[in-house]
Amino acid sequence: MTTISTEVLVIGGGATGAGVAWDAALRGFDVILVDRADLAEGTSGRFHGLLHSGGRYVVKDPVAADECVAENPILRRVIPDCIEDTGGLFVTTPEDDPAYGDQFLAGCQRAGLPTEEIGVDDALRMEPRLNPGIKRAFTVPDASIDAWKTVWSLARGAAQHGARVLTYHAVVALHKDGDAVTGARVRDELSGEELDIEAGFTLNASGAWAAQIVKLAGIEGIGVIPGKGIMIAMNHRLVNTVINRCTMPADGDILVPIRTVSVIGTTDMREADPDELPVTQAEVDQMLADGERLVPGLLQARALRVWAGVRPLWQDERSGEQATDTRDVSRTHAVVDHSARDGTRGLLTMSGGKLTTLRLMAQDLVDAMCKQQGEDRPCTTADVRPPGNEDGDLYTLGSRLRRREGTQQQEQLICECELIGRTKLEETMRRRGTQNLDDIRRSLRLGMGPCQGGFCIYRAAGILHGTGRLDGAQATASLTSFLSERWHGMWPILYGDQLRQARLDDWIFQGLLGVQHLPPANGDGRVEAPAQETVA
Amino acid sequence: MKPDVVVVGAGLAGLSAAVRLAEAGASVRVLAKGVGSTHLGAGTIDVLGYDADGGRVDRPLEALGGLPAEHPYGLVGRAGVSAAIEWFKGRIADGPRAPYAYVGDAEQNVLLPTAVGAVAPAGVVPETMVGGDLRGGGRVCVVGFRGLKDFFPALVADNLSRGPDGVTARGVELDLRPEGRADPNALAYARAFDDEGFRAEVVAQLVARVAPDELVAFPAVLGLVSPHEVWAEMEHRFGRAVFEIPTLPPSVPGIRVYTTLAQLLTRAGGRVVLNNVITGAERSGDRVRTLRVRVGLREVTYEPEWVVLATGGFSAGGLALDSSWVTHEVALGLPVAGAPAPGNERFGADYFGGQPMDRVGVRTDHEQRPVGEDGGRVVENVLVAGATLAGAAPWREKSGDGIALATGLRAAELITGDAAGHVGDVATAGA
Amino acid sequence: MGITDKLSHSQHDHDPPDVLGDLMRGTLDHCVKCTICETFCPVANVTPLFPGPKTVGPQAERFRVRGEESQDHSLDYCSGCGVCTQVCPQGVHIAEINTQARAKLKERDGFSLRDRIIARPPLLGRAGTPAAPLVNKTLASRPLRLLGEKLIGVHHAAAVPTFAGRTFQGWAKKHQSPPATRRVAYFHGCGANWYEPVVGEKTVGLLEAIGCQVDVPRGQSCCGLPLQSNGQFDAARRYVRTMAKRLAPAARAGVDILGTSTSCTLMLKREAREILDLMEDPDLKVVSEHMYDICEYLVMLHDRGELALELQPLPMTVTYHAPCQQQGHGIGKPALELMALIPELTVIENDAVCCGVAGTYGIKVEKYEIAANVGRGLFDQIEDARPDLAVCDSETCRWHIEGSTGVRTVHPLEIIHRAAGLSSDAELRAPA
């Protein structure tokens, strides 16, 4: 059994974990970050894409509102390349109480959130597809934020400062020495081998799975209510501003333009298991209807993909709070101090929170650790840009188009929908060192456009195979697993244009290529004779 | 023009029906929203590749008997399928690309490699592909082009070698680019192959590298205008079987079929008119009297004697599922069979498994007239052909071209009066 | 479903009246990336500078934000031939999306002097007509054309028409059309007005011969198509509205409007409404509803048995090319149907999507080679056929074909006119 050691073990590679690793690494700690899957595959990779101005919380959850007001500009400063300044609107739809708008304004004022009421005509000029029946409209500094870019940027930044990032390493046990947590045993999910990590301190940033982790330390009475929410990505930007319903937080009340799509969300249903998040027909119909209310005609637009994310809603039996409606639980975050609560040292858990406050959550968690260790190392994440954000420019939608224009005469376009050229693709494949096309998808948005991989996934499998990363069996497995994974997000919203696309893709993959008839993987795969010769 | 017959749809079903009708002397106009399935298909005529359990079919005509009761092949019978194949082969051989020809028949499938290295049954195939028949195994040198992102020879070779069919393969990649293009597609390569200078380059780079017992495979780019000449020259220069493997669209073999059929149609006095969308029809008694068509921003009407509806399935837009989960036949609002009611499951979680929506389409009687839920004929002078028909999952069975061709042709013959009586010789399971 | 009186329009309307606000842009949702448009694109097939209609259209459109700059200059290589929209099986209005996107690109980059001038045929017409002989000599002078190419950017070898030195409008003013029960209006277009008034005269003559009273509405200017193709949308709208005003009275009186320039008729029939966002303009709407290509109209009459025309044998061989914009009407090839009525006439139908010139596209110095390559197949077909004449419905195509092949190219109308005994062989073959 190999053992590696570090000062800080971070469990969970979502926005929280990556933020913690970055923060701790900047403070000079030696860090190992582990996640049982790819980075941002949990809640972070399945969220709405909204960088909150705080407007959503000013009335009902002022603490959360204050946090958003503070953090929004900080994130724009340090990770601008992950953020598009779409702006936001709060609109009173015909079904909403116009008086709420006054509460909204008062709440914004209290929180110091810059807002302005604009005329309905102006709002409709800004966003011609908005429901023409809206009665009031308010501008806010909402933005859209790319979670994968964010998480990878933070992780790469941490790595540049010496951190080790171990994806596909699941925690199977926490090590204790007396009353202190001293590290963990992890299993490499790809090789099956196990590995011990000795850590001076363990930070549990595993979000919806945090309760499962603390149980490994023998800690009881803590739960996380998986609050499932579904979101549907519509094929193109029906709006270019974040649209919020000006009302108490409800289902389906936000439409976010993020990258090339617009995302309508979300629902809130209590589930039992954060790994079992079914998408129900009723939820889908509800989201589409909610979207139609904001943008009439949405029902005739093309729905691309549906997914379910899970909010980590903290429930501590000891504190006596029992939330019934998961929406009533505060969206702010808290550090769970296990030495105070459970007499267990060397372990802290981050509970609750939202992506917008990821930096603050990381700061609070690492500060708490420093305090317990008697370390005086201040946080610097509010002023340092992680890799990829160096030029300080906010992301613009046209950036990939501009880049492609420059390379059009030099290189092939592999994923046409999302404008990914061959060079970038091969670079990412090399850097990730992965055999899994879904990992590449998360890094580059490969196959996330309208054709959902119909054309590009075959090409990507061929390229991955050609770079020597895969043999035929592995290429086959990667292709079929991509197709199965993508199907999960398609079939509940399969109608209209997307059904047409799906049938064309079925023809390509099953009829033309016959992927389901490829010989199955059988062990050692690699062909004896050199598989390819290149003639220059 | 006041055509006797309006064929709706310019895919294989529509074009076959139109050519057959026009050559029999009918005045035919094909109205289509756009170009059809030919450009996306493999360019082969697959009768039946896989049975209901996903097992390979070796003798498709025999296997027709194992198909579900409402399968479209039940409308045409074995004789209808064979006749359609022979007709098609004859027309291609007679067409502008002669002597480019299709070979094979509906009795026996061949086994051809796919662009991912699977080995799949295929029916009647162009001469440019038949050299790839891997029944009996073999050694293959799979040639690709670095510039062509839609074909990966190493992957094809690797998977072919892994398979149980006794095939050993290796990949070779040439760095030749038509016109020095950075991102050429299959069509650009096909045009390059039409040029003898390019062909000479290819041969020069390859001929010494090919082992004595290796067949030579290319992606399906062996000429757009002169495929016979290109392929024959390649076989001559390499001194062995050379063949092409269909790959991602655009399908060059499919384009050859389209242009051949469209030219045959024009020769026979018919015409394809694009960007025409059927918006509905008015009936008089049990016949459609007026067909309403949107052309640009205008509506025009036709009063044909007959309408052949060959608008395709879901991928072509002939059938559609709306956001209230109701399925429609788009052009004429004909009754759709097999669709789960809104609220019931339409699809399942297993991508590769059967789905409730698989066989949805318009059901017809044995004269290809659409029928309602009660089985009664809805209208007398509309015949349905191709993927619009209920009862098949062509991408799973590899049957789409055969269905399109056979039902398109039979629709035409039902109109001209040449159709044989109901050929009920396909004793389908459960019938 | 029981038996009903009407098999009505099915509830599922594939292209609903647009509720998503952007009539053309919203259709990008239908794109399934099938590549069919790219296989037909005449420009993408001859040059890698244009990545293809799908790429610059529905695909790139997802990356364009209203108000944000359009990024991709390769879009400018789109010739606007419109074939992509015709062949798209999913109903994406690709060419229209491209044209709108190009306008945004030009707005940002600004319009060159050349593009301002060549997009305004009336300006050129008015300037060149008074001194026509001198202007024509200049345009025929190679050294002066080379100079012109350097100064303005119009390729020295690009086919340009000869100024007639008079206008069709001038002729029409003096012409009294005999009263008849069937009334039609003639939309002559800039081509007939400044360069080919004979075509206009023949059109009027033929229509009168079949029993129509022909009204030529006064003050007709330019349909705005060149301005639209060159991205100058505000100016294009002004031209369109003016034209619509001139023609609307006839349309409102129920009089059909016929045009001999198949591109211009398409512009007012459909393109201006879709692309310039003038769907609801009341004048344009009524004009569009009454607008016909001349061959389209004659075939309509023929189908109804109302074409009173006696056609004499015409023993010659002609080729026929349907311009890309004629195909855009979606009406088949009525010129062929008409010419098929002429005894002893051999018509060879050309098989080409576009001749390459696409209005003003092919005369530009940076596009000339591309246009020449696009048209090469067509020119070879025409030359191989060794016809007496080539036939084509659009004037810019005729000039381009004639310039590239040396074969005299005429409007189908002129063939009919000859076969109707209304002109002689010499008149048919005479240069415009």
Alpha carbons A243 and A295: distance in angstroms, whole number: 9
Q: Are B370 and B335 in contact (CB under 8 A)?
A: yes
Q: What are the backbone dihedrals phi and psi of residue A218, each rounded to the nearest 5 degrees, phi first?
A: 80, 15
Does residue A132 lie in a domain region? yes
Rounded to 5, what percent of chain B is helix, strand, coil?
Answer: 30, 25, 45
* DSSP labels, C51-70: --HHIIIIIHHTT--TTSPP
Residue C351 distance to chain B (closest CA, Å): 9
Q: B159 — contact with chain A (CB < 8 Å)?
A: yes
Q: What's the token pair of residue A119?
A: 């005329």
Per-residue pLDDT, B427: 45
Task: Give residue-wise pLDDT tens across range C116-164.
Answer: 999 999 999 999 999 999 999 999 999 999 999 999 999 999 999 999 9
Residue A367 pLDDT exceeds 60: yes
Give me the mean pLDDT over the B3-8 stretch: 96
Please tell me whether residues B264 and B365 are part of one structural domain: yes
Task: Give residue-wise pLDDT tens across range B52-82.
Answer: 888 999 999 999 988 988 999 999 999 999 9
Residues 499-528 of A with CB under 8 A from C: 500-501, 504
Does residue B109 lie in a domain region? no
Does residue A454 lie in a domain region? yes
Does residue B237 lie in a domain region? yes
Does residue B97 lie in a domain region? no
Q: C256 vs A431, C21, C217, C298, C300, CA distance in Å? A: 67, 31, 12, 12, 12
Please tell me whether residues B221 and B355 are part of one structural domain: no
Residue C5 pLDDT exceeds 60: no
Out of A271, A287, A313, a domain closes at: A313
Cβ separation of B248 and A519 shorter than 8 Å? no
- Chains with 3 or more CB pairs closer than 8 angstroms to C? A, B
C9 closest CB neighbour out of B33, B280, B317? B280
Cβ separation of A497 and C30 shorter than 8 Å? yes
Token pair 């304004």 is at which residue? A105
Percentage above 90 pLDDT, chain C: 87
Cβ separation of B297 and C39 shorter than 8 Å? no
Does residue A159 lie in a domain region? yes
**Which helix (H) or strand (E) element contains residue C395?**
helix C395-405
Please tell me whether residues A263 and A274 are part of one structural domain: yes
Per-residue pLDDT, A173: 97
Alpha carbons C58 and C66: distance in angstroms, whole number: 15
Please tell me whether residues A270 and A411 are part of one structural domain: no
Number of residue pairs across A and B with CB atoms under 8 Å? 188
CA angle C27, C30, C33 (to 5 degrees): 120
Please tell me whether residues B282 and B342 are part of one structural domain: yes
Out of A261, A285, A313, a domain closes at: A313
Q: What are the backbone dihedrals phi and psi of residue C16, each rounded to the nearest 5 degrees, phi first?
A: -70, 160
Q: What mean pLDDT is reported for chain C? A: 92
Percentage above 70 pLDDT, chain C: 93
B297 closest CB neighbour out of C2, C35, C273? C273
Does residue B114 lie in a domain region? no
Which amino acid, residue B29? R
Q: Are A283 and A265 in contact (CB under 8 A)?
A: no
Alpha carbons B200 and B206: distance in angstroms, whole number: 10
Q: Are C346 and C104 in contact (CB under 8 A)?
A: no
Does residue B428 lie in a domain region? no
Please tell me whether residues B261 and B382 are part of one structural domain: yes
- Chain C, nearest residue to A128 by Cα: C21
Does residue A483 lie in a domain region? yes
Task: Give residue-wise pLDDT tens across range C220-239.
Answer: 999 999 999 999 999 999 99
CA angle A23, A25, A31 (to 5 degrees): 115
pLDDT band at A325 (very low <50, low <70, confident <90, very high): low
Task: Give residue-wise pLDDT tens across range B405-423.
Answer: 999 999 999 999 877 655 5
pLDDT band at A249 (very low <50, low <70, confident <90, very high): confident
Give me the mean pLDDT over the A397-417 stretch: 92
Cβ separation of C19 and A501 shorter than 8 Å? no
Residue C25 pLDDT exceeds 60: yes
Please tell me whether residues A176 and A36 are part of one structural domain: yes
Per-residue pLDDT, A528: 32
- Chain B, nearest residue to C332 by Cα: B273
Per-residue pLDDT, C303: 93
Q: What mean pLDDT is reported for chain B? A: 94
Residue C17 pLDDT exceeds 70: no
Q: In what order do the strands lie in the sheet with A83-84?
A: A50-51, A143-145, A83-84
Please tell me whether residues A352 and A498 are part of one structural domain: no
Please tell me whether residues B265 and B368 are part of one structural domain: yes
Nearest to C14 by CA among B379, B343, B316: B316
Nearest to A332 by CA among A56, A8, A9, A67: A67
Alpha carbons A8 and A32: distance in angstroms, whole number: 6
Residue C1 pLDDT exceeds 60: no
- Chain C, nearest residue to A304 by Cα: C29
Per-residue pLDDT, A326: 55
Three-state DSSP class for residue A440 = helix
Alpha carbons C204 and A392: distance in angstroms, whole number: 67
Please tell me whether residues A260 and A342 are part of one structural domain: no
Please tell me whether residues A134 and A232 are part of one structural domain: yes
Q: Locate all alpha helices (DSSP H) within A397-471, ordered by sequence.
A: 399-407, 422-432, 437-444, 456-466
Nearest to C37 by CA among B278, B275, B118: B275
Q: B117 — contact with chain A (CB < 8 Å)?
A: yes
Please tell me whether residues A251 and A304 are part of one structural domain: yes
pLDDT band at A536 (very low <50, low <70, confident <90, very high): very low
Nearest to A86 by CA among A128, A147, A125, A143: A143
Please tell me whether residues B349 and B282 are part of one structural domain: yes
Does residue B423 lie in a domain region? no
Distance, CA of C391 to chain centre: 14
Residue C239 distance to chain B (closest CA, Å): 21
Alpha carbons C175 and C161: distance in angstroms, whole number: 25
Q: Locate all alpha helices (DSSP H) within B133-242, ordered by sequence.
A: 153-162, 186-194, 196-206, 227-238
Three-state DSSP class for residue B179 = helix
Q: B164 — contact with chain A (CB < 8 Å)?
A: yes
Per-residue pLDDT, B109: 97
Please tell me whether residues A504 and A463 are part of one structural domain: yes
Cβ separation of C7 and B187 shorter than 8 Å? no
Does residue A531 lie in a domain region? no
Nearest to B296 by CA among C89, C240, C283, C330: C330
Per-residue pLDDT, C2: 28
Please tell me whether residues A208 and A154 are part of one structural domain: yes
Q: A520 — contact with chain B (CB < 8 Å)?
A: no
- Chains with 3 or more CB pairs closer than 8 angstroms to B? A, C
Please tell me whether residues B318 and B394 are part of one structural domain: yes
Does residue A332 lie in a domain region? yes
Please tell me whether residues B323 and B400 are part of one structural domain: yes
Q: A216 — contact with chain C (CB < 8 Å)?
A: no
Q: What's the token pair of residue A329?
A: 């639980």
Please tell me whether residues A209 and A303 are part of one structural domain: no
Does residue A245 lie in a domain region? yes
What's the domain count of chain A?
3
Give me the mean pLDDT over the A373-387 stretch: 96
Give me the mean pLDDT over the C10-15 stretch: 40
Residues 329-388 of B with CB under 8 A from A: 343, 346-352
CATH number, domain of A104, equals: 3.30.9.10
Task: Give residue-wise pLDDT tens across range A251-271.
Answer: 889 999 999 999 999 998 999
Out of B222, B245, B268, a domain closes at: B245
Alpha carbons B404 and B388: distance in angstroms, whole number: 9
Per-residue pLDDT, C61: 92
Does residue A534 lie in a domain region? no
ipTM of the complex: 0.96
Please tell me whether residues A331 and A419 are part of one structural domain: no
Q: Would you tell me the crossing angle of helices B252-267 and B12-23 to the nearest 10 degrees?
A: 30
Per-residue pLDDT, C359: 93
CATH number, domain of A333, equals: 3.50.50.60
pLDDT band at C20 (very low <50, low <70, confident <90, very high): very low
DSSP C243: H
Residue C340 pLDDT exceeds 70: yes
Out of B220, B245, B270, a domain closes at: B245
Q: A380 — contact with chain B (CB < 8 Å)?
A: no
Does residue B316 lie in a domain region? yes
CATH number, domain of B289, equals: 3.50.50.60
Per-residue pLDDT, A225: 87
Task: Give residue-wise pLDDT tens across range C293-322.
Answer: 999 999 999 999 999 899 999 999 999 999
B336 vs A435, residue with greater confidence: B336
Give me the mean pLDDT over the A445-453 stretch: 94
Give the range of the structural domain holding residue A425, as residue numbers without chain letter: 399-517
Out of A313, A340, A364, a domain closes at: A313
Per-residue pLDDT, A524: 42
Does residue B427 lie in a domain region? no
Q: A288 — contact with chain B (CB < 8 Å)?
A: yes
Please tell me whether residues A118 and A163 are part of one structural domain: no
What's the domain count of chain B?
2
Give the range of the structural domain holding residue B409, as residue numbers without chain letter: 5-92+256-416
Please tell me whether residues B282 and B398 are part of one structural domain: yes
Out of B245, B276, B292, a domain closes at: B245
Q: B158 — contact with chain A (CB < 8 Å)?
A: yes
Alpha carbons C233 and C237: distance in angstroms, whole number: 6
Please tell me whether residues B28 and B67 are part of one structural domain: yes
Nearest to B386 by CA among B63, B37, B60, B3: B37
